[in-house]
Amino acid sequence: MRGLAGLLLIACAAVAAADPLVIAHRGASGYLTEHTLAAHAMAYAQGADYLEPDLVLSADGHPVVLHDLTLDAVSDVRTRFPGRFPPDHGRFGVITLEELIELAGG
């Protein structure tokens, strides 16, 4: 056991001595609005090793970058789709890709 602990200590020291891995979660979110092209471009320009967006699947299975789990707080989904019954406790979750594009004004 002592040999394994020593090996683990050496491995930890080697990792600590290496350059840190920079993961830009939602882009350069401390500087710009999260999940925007500008935030991701700034994170890249600042030297981030990886850009990590929040991904969810639309109701029809398309990956979508979306921070919130529901659309009520970030859109006018209730006004745009008044006849729809929300599937999740009265809040709108992710809808189809076509509906998301329409909701975004596209």
User: Which three-class secondary structure string do you get for the chain?
Assistant: CHHHHHHHHHHHHHHHHCCCCCEEECCCCCCCCCCCHHHHHHHHHCCCCEEECCEEECCCCCEEECCCCCCCCCCCHHHHCCCCCCCECCECCCCCHHHHHHHCCC
Q: Is 89 annotated as catalytic? A: no
Per-residue pLDDT for 69 more than 60? yes
Catalytic residue (choose from 35, 40, 62, 67): 67
Q: Is 62 annotated as catalytic? A: no
Q: Is pLDDT larger for residue 76 or for residue 5? A: 76
Query: What is the domain partition of the chain in residue ranges?
Result: 20-53, 54-106
* Reported pTM: 0.60
pLDDT of the residue at 39:
92
- State the pLDDT confidence band at 92, using cuts at 50, 70 and 90: confident
pLDDT exceeding 90 applies to what percent of the chain?
A: 18
